[in-house]
Amino acid sequence: MHSAAILLSPISNFPPRIHLFHSKLQNFHPRLSLYTQPIKRMAFPRGLGFRISAGGTAVASGDGGGSGFQTLREYMGRREEHVGDELVVLFSHLEYACKRVAALVASPFNSSLGKDFSAAAAAGGSAERDTPKPLDIVANEIILSSLKNSRKVAVMASEEDDAPVWLADDGPFVVVLDPLDGSRNIDASIPTGTIFGIYRRLAELDHLPTEEKAILNSLQSGAKLIASGYVLYSSATILCTSFGSGTHAFTLDHSTGDFILTHPNIKIPPRGQIYSVNDARYFDWPEGLRKYIDTVRQGKGKHPKKYSARYICSLVADFHRTLLYGGIAMNPRDHLRLVYEANPLSFLAEQAGGKGSDGKARILSLQPVKLHQRLPLFLGSPDDIEELESYGDIQQKRSCCSHPVRSELSDPVSFSRNCSPSGATTTRLMDSATTSRLNEPSSFLGTS
């Protein structure tokens, strides 16, 4: 006889009196649905089974004598991870924000909101591909509010904002993020995601004016990341992260509101059999990239089997599949942002044994010079990336203004530039000590 289970919508896991939507959207009140249905044991990775009781609690029962499941917070509390208390607090707020974004993405009301916004944008003459969508803006505000409440973040730099936002003078961390990647696909129920990277605040910049130290803290090299991750909003909500000791994925259990460790210590295969790229632009590609794709599709590359194409047009979804199955996820154009997308995902790829490249250089070796700097991006299996780079010309129409600066510069003086909303460029000369600090590889020992 099956036990009855009460299943709540994801929103019910959130604390009361905290609104999911922007204040202007409060006319929409999602109703919690309570229903009862029989539930059987669910299959779970590594032979672990779960039965959900009528009280909504997931009870573990394994066939291998395991100790049960492990939540994200429990994982971060392990001594061997060397994650300090302050980073645990930051992650608890970030985790909460992403659960709210997951509920927002799944809401039946976001479609009408998008249509109203599109009509307003069309009336205003705005038809840009990268024009912020309403869900991008709401997701950005949700995450900003949570990071501010944590009191652990000095500055947040977002793809949706023209300039970074200074939050707390004593916050030990810097967060860079893309709050909702792939949002234009939501109406078609295509997976979306949040991408984030975490750095330490550079205390030697504290004497600078707020705007300047906010920019410089946000322009740290990817080699300085102490943690990064993404949250995939799809058939399951998955938070994949690394603290510098491997890449691990946690799946949201909607019955408890916990992220459960489901993919410990992910290792990307040395070589895959899938490439992910928009090959509708095949005839715009440089010769090297066309030759590589033609070769692997025919099974004439270093791997004897023919490669298959899988392209979702959602960076987080394409990268997540590549991380699990191997191969390459790429965009050969100057399109993806170094600070908000390329650095955090390359950090995850390397921690899983993979590689992140702009087609010529390691992504984490590049020193950002602008907050919204764009570049080509190639992520995936190490053998596939090396074979692709051997074809030479694989970057599509790179403009000189977006070319990154290598962090191994021998010149002790460098410039950091940021474009203001008015289009003017502000430049600050950094001394050798600051330059060295920006480029120094991370050595995160968990002392917060």
Domain borders along the chain are 4-62, 72-266, 274-408
Is the separation of the CB atoms in 410 and 435 below 8 Å?
Answer: no
Is the separation of the CB atoms in 212 and 428 below 8 Å?
Answer: yes
Indicate which residue of 95, 113, 144, 159 is catalytic. Answer: 159
Using only the alpha carbons of the chain, give its radius of gyration. Answer: 22
Indicate which residue of 181, 334, 384, 389 is catalytic. Answer: 181
Tell me how far apart the alpha carbons of residues 289 and 272 are, in angstroms, rounded to a whole number.
17
Is the separation of the CB atoms in 321 and 345 below 8 Å?
Answer: no
pLDDT for 63? 37
Indicate which residue of 74, 85, 130, 204 is catalytic. Answer: 130
Indicate which residue of 341, 350, 358, 384 is catalytic. Answer: 341
pLDDT for 62? 36
Indicate which residue of 178, 253, 358, 389 is catalytic. Answer: 178
85 is catalytic: no
206 is catalytic: no
Domain 274-408 has CATH 3.40.190.80: yes
253 is catalytic: no
What are the tens digits of pLDDT across the range 165-191?
A: 999 999 999 999 999 998 888 888 899
162 is catalytic: no
159 is catalytic: yes
pLDDT for 43? 41
The fold of the 72-266 domain, in CATH, is Fructose-1,6-Bisphosphatase; Chain A, domain 1 (3.30.540)
Question: What are the two backbone dihedrals, phi and then psi, of residue 245, each rounded to the nearest 5 degrees?
Answer: -135, 60
136 is catalytic: yes
pLDDT for 334? 94
Tell me how far apart the alpha carbons of residues 89 and 91 are, in angstroms, rounded to a whole number.
5
From residue 215, alpha-carbon distances to 106, 353, 414, 434 in Å are 34, 31, 15, 13
170 is catalytic: no
Q: Which residues contact 58 (CB under 8 A, 6 or more apart)?
A: 50, 51, 52, 69, 253, 255, 256
SS (H, E, C) 306-366: CCEECCCCCHHHHHHHHHHHCCEEEEEEEEEEHHHHHHHHHHHHHHCCCEEECCCCEHHHE
341 is catalytic: yes
Q: What string of pLDDT tens digits covers the 448 residues of the chain? A: 444 443 444 444 444 444 444 444 444 444 434 333 443 334 444 434 444 434 444 443 333 334 478 999 999 988 666 789 999 999 999 999 999 999 999 988 776 665 555 555 555 554 455 555 688 999 999 999 999 999 999 999 999 999 999 999 999 999 999 999 988 888 888 999 999 999 999 999 999 999 999 999 999 999 999 999 999 999 999 999 999 999 999 999 999 999 999 999 999 999 999 999 999 999 999 999 999 999 999 999 998 899 999 999 999 999 999 999 999 999 999 999 999 999 999 999 999 999 999 999 999 999 999 999 999 999 999 999 999 999 999 999 754 544 444 443 333 334 343 333 333 333 333 444 454 555 554 433 333 3
From residue 213, alpha-carbon distances to 75, 147, 168, 418, 438 in Å are 33, 18, 12, 12, 12
From residue 86, alpha-carbon distances to 15, 93, 200, 250, 416 in Å are 22, 11, 11, 20, 29
Please give the model's pTM, rounded to 2 decimal places. Answer: 0.76
Indicate which residue of 136, 253, 384, 389 is catalytic. Answer: 136
Indicate which residue of 104, 113, 147, 160 is catalytic. Answer: 160
pLDDT for 185? 82
Q: Give residue 361's Cα distance to chain centre.
A: 21
pLDDT for 398? 56
Indicate which residue of 87, 90, 94, 180 is catalytic. Answer: 180
Single out the residue of 238, 306, 320 nearest to residue 273, CA to CA: 306
